[in-house]
Structure 1
Amino acid sequence: MSATKRIIVFGGNGFLGSRICRAAVARKWDVTSVSRSGRPNWLSITDSPTPPSWSHSVSWERGDIFRPAQWTPLLSGADCVVHSLGILLEADYKGVLSGQESPISGLRRAFDPAKGRRGSSNPLERVRDVEQGDASSSSTQQQQQQQQLTYEMMNRDSAILLAKEAAKAGVKTFGYVSAAAGAPVLPSRYVTTKREAEAIVAREFPEMRGVFFRPPFMYDRSRVVTMGVAAMATAGSMVDGLTGGRLGGLLGTMVTKPLKADAVADAVVEALEDESVKGPVEVPQLEALADRAWRKTML
């Protein structure tokens, strides 16, 4: 009988991260979630405020991804580490919550073509700066920078930082939730920063098996708005197939078949368990992995 796998999911209290935790618990893995707030707000990610039964098998830990001293001890003995963090909107998160900043200003910054150039310093140097700031108990300037969430920080730098610490801890497998390319409703930097993270992690930490998941739009009945978008995307996918893929060049992932969030989570855990899976995992492979995971439950 094989030993129980130990998985650490960063962002495990989120929409997809919580479902990755659920899928790992179903395989009787030892599961830890790390996030700023610890336990999930269940009503924001499911259709009930009551914690599901599987959640009692997860260790819900608090930790700031940019304060590695808070979470590096948790990496000891882990088989897999998953980065399931990211932002769709750039904003000063405390400013938005307090009403001092409008989400519209976040959208303006996200689509600012100069923003990427301003944040284009060497990501590895940025990670070193974060680690040094953490070791020196973090200056006021450091804290202000962390309040201003950007694609470069959340999609790229946090993944590199986590991969670096995971490699030092001897973790064998690093999973990164990236994204399918070409979403027209998001700034190009949303995807380019994720691709940069994939490339740097693969190049700098070859001792780990890097698995880079590229899901399309994900939906679940607990988020009603996603159901409507998924229906439109499914229709677009069917029309795109009938037109020989001509719509794909214009509408990007809006004509890529959407996937249920639970299916993506099942695919992630299936891939982490299968040591032959590595590198980018595109939508068709996610579907195949999810189907394989489902078949295992039928045995």
Structure 2
Amino acid sequence: MSSAAKAKRIVVCGGNGFLGSRICKAAVSRGWDVTSISRSGEPHWASVTSSPTAPAWSHKVTWSRADIFRPAQYVPLLAGADYVVHSMGILLEADYKGVLSGRESPLAGLRKAFASQPARTNPNPLAQGAVIEPPAQSQQQLTYEMVNRDSAILLAKESARAGASAFGYVSAVGGTAVLPARYITTKREAEEVIAREFRGMRSVFYRAPFMYDSSRALTMPMAALTGASHIANGLTMGVIGRIMGTAAVAKPLKADLVAEAVVEALEDGNVSGPVEPAQLEELASKSWRKSMA
């Protein structure tokens, strides 16, 4: 990069998470100015990497604290951002404090997740002056509608206002009999609204499959199982996929690979809309070839 060239600026909402932290790392490796937004600030490194010690690259990231549902806390951080990424999500809905204290059983959380209707409703995040209230601290109840859909639309709305050229949304590959239907439907609703309402801002929807990394031991056997299902599905000409769903047989991808694909797609002005797993691999490969040049 020449001394006259200005570094790209990226803001990652959820940058202290499993994938979000790797997106920050990939952006730092390109010399970008990186800001992470989360409620807790810097990651608890032992939960996202194989070491409790902060890696060297992390010192080049601005770890900011803000509530995604309270734009006033993070709008100043979006000023001058070229790219904004939403990398947040919940797999199962539950009253976590209730489970830990014994007030609610884990099965109750599963029932909420698989319910056909949301546990609570929220105002349209596109409405003028709309405020999507987060749950009370004493409750800690978050829903798919809030996290997967409303928070993403709200962030996209503020990113467009701030003049970001591209918005990245970490979605998910669709079609599985294992995950609750609302997990995917809320992701798709977010994609549809963002694409329709913010046409002046290029939007990229990363439909990631199951992601793994050796730093999270539990993900390794799960990735092996999913990988075996992917191979078996090919051998049976798609029979297993038709029974289990697309996501259940999608090839698992390493989290670092997905992160590389995220930043590559943001920088490539020709990439927009849904990005399926095969294209994620292509984008990551393109990124690594560029780094070797």
Instruction: Mark yes or no: TM-score above 0.5.
Output: yes
- Separation in 2, partners of 1:92, 1:257: 32
- Residues 66 and 146, structure 1, Cα contact 8 Å, conserved in 2: no
After TM superposition, the structure 1 = structure 2 runs for residues 201-220 of structure 1, keeping only pairs within 5 Å, are: 201-220=194-213
1:56 offset after TM fit, Å?
0.5
1:269 aligned to which of 263, 278, 283: 263
Q: Which amino acid aligns with 2:77?
A: L
Compared CA separation, residues 284 and 273, structure 1 to 2 (3 A): same
Alignment correspondent of 2:142? 149
CA distance in 2, matches of 1:97, 1:204: 40
Q: Please, what TM-score do these two structures have when normalized by structure 1?
A: 0.91
Corresponding residue of 1:280: 274
Q: Are the structure 2 counterparts of residues 74 and 99 from structure 1 closer, same or farther at C-alpha, using a change threshold of 3 Å? A: farther
**1:115 maps to what in 2?**
118
Q: Which residue of 1 aligns with 2:191?
A: 198
TM-fit CA distance, 1:183:
2.6
Q: Does the Cα contact within 8 Å between 2:124 and 2:130 map onto a contact in 1?
A: no
Letter aligned with residue 20 of structure 1: I
Tell me the residue number matched to 2:130: 129
CA RMSD in angstroms, aligned pairs only:
2.1
Residue 227 of structure 1: SS of its match in structure 2?
Answer: helix
**Secondary structure, aligned partner of 2:176:** coil
**Structure 2 CA distance for partners of 1:288 and 1:224, relative to 1, 3 Å:** same
Show the 5 A alignment for 1:42-53: 42-53=45-56
Distance 1:231 1:215 in 2: 17
Q: 1 CA distance for matches of 2:126 and 2:52?
A: 40
Structure with the larger helix share? 1
Check conservation: 2:85, 2:169, Cα contact below 8 A.
yes
Relative distance call for 1:99 and 1:54 in structure 2 (3 A) is farther
**Alpha-carbon contact 2:202-2:272 (below 8 Å) kept:** yes
How far apart are the structure 1 equivalents of 2:17 and 2:266? Answer: 19
The answer to whether the 8 Å contact 1:198/1:212 transfers is yes
TM-score by length of 2: 0.93
Residue 28 (structure 1) aligned with residue 43 (structure 2): no
Using the TM superposition, give the Cα deviation of residue 67 of structure 1 relative to its aligned residue in structure 2, in angstroms.
1.1
Aligned partners of 2:135 and 2:141 also within 8 Å: no
Which residue identity does 1:183 align to in structure 2?
Answer: T
Contact (CA 8 Å) 1:93, 1:149: kept in 2 or not? Answer: no
- What does residue range 239-258 of structure 1 map to in structure 2 within 5 Å? 239-252=232-245, 253-258=247-252
Structure 1 stretch displaced more, 41-50 or 289-298: 289-298
Residue 124 of structure 1, CA deviation? 3.4
Do structure 1's residue 298 and structure 2's residue 260 form an aligned pair? Answer: no
| Equivalent residues in 2 for 1:167-186, closer than 5 Å | 167-186=160-179
1:137: which partner in 2?
none
> Which residues of structure 2 form unaligned runs of 5+?
none
Query: In the aligned structure 2, how far is the partner of 1:94 from the partner of 1:206?
Result: 40
In the TM superposition, 1:68-79 aligns within 5 A as: 68-79=71-82
Aligned to 2:59: 56
Q: 2:104 is paired with a residue of what secondary structure?
A: coil
